[in-house]
Every structure is written in structure tokens, then in C-alpha cells.
Amino acid sequence: MNRIEERFQRLKEEGQKGFVVYIGAGDPDLDVTHDLALAFDEIGVDVLELGVPFSDPLADGLVNQLAAQRGLDSDTTPGKVLETISRIRVSSGIPIVLYVYFNLLHKHGLAEFVQAAAVAGVDGLLVLDLPPEESGNYESLMAAAGLCPIYLVAPTTPPDRVELIVKRGKGFIYYVSREGVTGMQQTVSDTIGPMTRIIREHTDIPIAVGFGISNPEQAAEVAKNAEAIVVGSAIVNQIADKGRAADLVQTVKSFTANLINGIR
């Protein structure tokens, strides 16, 4: 088992729900990304998703698009993201997933990128625009490197395709609880219960639910139907609000700890 699988096994044994955080790598710079990772580990975040900045992030809403732009503005490249993860690994074993678009992997060379990610200490890849039917040798490369291919299921995914997707995933299945792009929402989607039941008909891999969770009450409600929740835009928005303020890390740490308290 890699770190993702080990963490979810531990959560299951402890009867706890997992908390997954998404932030844009390099927002506002990679030193802050490093410090946030260590802070998240300290307060009990179970998996850290790092968005690799990309010029055309089609799956992302405005908050995360702007984070990607700030990452590009701080000269964050895929290679520098991996260097930062190597620095994180000096003092933290927090499971790390790269949230990345396939263009970046293709440009780097798929086999080379997967191997470099594994060496840096990455535990899984969530490739937003790579459906399993078109993944070619991606999964075999990931298996050889000991990494988890994380796949998405959406509210509009037909049941027969749910079966195909979840049987190809490792680590956890990311259920995107709303149609459209990422972003904070006022209410929790009513698709979560029915769709997580469909997913569980085909796999025992943990389910993490995201897209729209922005406060402790929503976190607690979603956690009733999933092994983990994912919070991104609400935390990214905190980073945007603080900019380069000296108390950025502490502010984001406190905000995230309050969300974690909602599920534990």
C-alpha cells in the first residue's frame, strides 16, 4: 500500500472520516505551498491535493482558475512542484495527490513524469481530462511506480460507466457532487447519497466527495455518505484573501482546522 491507501486503512480502523484539501501549487509561491503542507499535516489533513498550474484549467471555477494564474505568475512549473514535494517529504509523510491536466504530462513525457513524481514523493495523480477508456499505458506506468490513479465520477455518469471507472481507480474515488466546475456552494447536492450507493455496488475503494463544500456544517452532512470529503475553493479563497500577508499560513491553518472539526 502507498501512503493514500495506508491512510484510508487507518481511518477505517479508527472509525474516522478523511479530510482532503486542495490548493493550487505556487499560490502565492512555492515556499508558502511547502509551509501550508506542513501546517495541514499538523492539524490532521489526510490527503493534500496540489493543483499543478495550467493555462487552460477547464474543470475549475473562477477561484481555482485565479489560483492557477497566480501559480503561473510565481513561475511555478511541474518540475518545481516536484522539487517542492521533495522538500515536504523531508519532514512530512502527508499523502499527496497531483491534480493535473494531461497536456502537462504529455509535454513532459508520460513515463518520465510518472517516474519523477514517484521519486519526488507523490502518491497519486488525478488527471482531470484523462478518461480511463483513453488512458493507454497510464495505469500500468502508475502501478509500476507505486502510484494511485485517482478517477472522477460525476452526477451525470451512467451506472455502466461508473462500474468501468471505479474498477480502474486506486486509492479513492473522487465523486464530483455537482455538475459544472469547482466552486463554493450554499447547499449540499442531493445526488450524494444515491450516487455513492451506486459506486459502492462496484467497489470497496473509499469515496471522497468534493465540489462545493465550504463550511463545517456542509462537511458534516457530506461525511455521512462518504469515507472522506474534499475542500478546495473555500480554502483557496482564504489564500487569495490573505495574499502575501505574514499570517497567511496561520489563517488558512485555523480555517481548515475548523472544517476538520465538522467531521470529527
Catalytic positions: 49, 60
Q: Provide the grid cell at 231.
A: 475542500
Query: For 243, phi and psi rounded to 5 degrees?
Result: 60, -125
- The amino acid at 85: I
Strands 124-127 and 148-149: parallel
CA distance 214 to 187: 9
Helix axes 233-242, 62-73, angle to 10 degrees: 50
Task: Give the chain's largest Cα–Cα span.
Answer: 50
Which residues have CB under 8 Å from 13's CB, separation 6+?
A: none
DSSP 216-262: HHHHHHHHTT-SEEEE-HHHHHHHHHHTT-TTHHHHHHHHHHHHHHT
208 pairs with which residues across the strands? 174, 228
Q: Strands (DSSP E) along the chain, which ranges? A: 18-24, 47-51, 96-100, 124-127, 148-149, 152-153, 173-176, 207-210, 228-231
